[in-house]
Amino acid sequence: MNSAHEKIKTQLSSGERVLWSGQPRQGVIIRGTDALMIPFSLLWGGFAVFWEMSVINSNAPAFFALWGIPFVLIGIYMVVGRFFVEAKQRANTFYAVTNERILIVSGFLKHNVKSLNLRTLSDLSLSEGKSNEGTISFGGGSPFASMFSGFSSWPSMGTHLGPRFDSISNAKSVFETIRGAQRAA
């Protein structure tokens, strides 16, 4: 059994069977939304560092130096930190399809369990990319979800993206497993 199955096993009800379990792709991922986020983060971070260095070199009051520190920290997070935080979030995320429901168990700083009943699950969509990897979304989510998917590592942003199996391998096969489980439920 893989670690995803072991993590999911603790969440099962009696008589509930796992039809599929897995995790999102591991490691750092550069997404399409990063085409805008990377230049923006470089501009933000560059300006924040420029501001901070200018204030320090000009012997301005300490308030101005302190004022720039949060902006520099946000810039560092936006330039590099967000990639590693998102990778850590995905490493602690586990997905499952059972004969009764969809389970998403996650937790980087706190333990979260999302359970979606197969009988009442109305909206199901598949977005497939290269090499059979894709994302399966459940429910509507925010209309701006795709625009802000680059911010998924920001605190609480994942709730606005809606429940989903993000960056899973053999996504179409998992999608068909879900549809088959819905018909059987």
The 10s digit of each residue's pLDDT in 128-163 is 888 889 999 988 665 555 555 555 555 555 555 788
Mean of pLDDT values over 157-174: 82
pLDDT of 9 > 70? The answer is yes
Residues 141, 101, single domain; the answer is yes
Does 156 fall in a domain? yes
pLDDT of 3 > 60? The answer is yes
Query: pLDDT tens digits, residue range 101-110?
Result: 999 998 877 8
Q: What pTM did the predictor assign? A: 0.80
| Phi and psi at residue 90, to the nearest 5° | -65, -35
164 and 135 Cβ atoms separated by less than 8 Å = yes
**Residue with the larger pLDDT of the pair 152 and 121:** 121
Amino acid 180: pLDDT: 92
Distance CA 96, CA 178 (A): 10
Residues 80, 101, single domain; the answer is no
Distance CA 42, CA 19 (A): 44
Residues 100, 174, single domain; the answer is yes
List helix spans (H) across 10-81. Answer: 34-57, 62-76
Domain that residue 143 falls in: 3-24+94-184
Query: Which residues touch 135 (CB under 8 Å, ≥6 apart)?
Result: 126, 127, 164, 165, 166, 167, 168, 171
Q: How many domains are contained in the chain? A: 2
Burial class (CB in 10 A: 0-12, 13-18, 19+), 164: buried
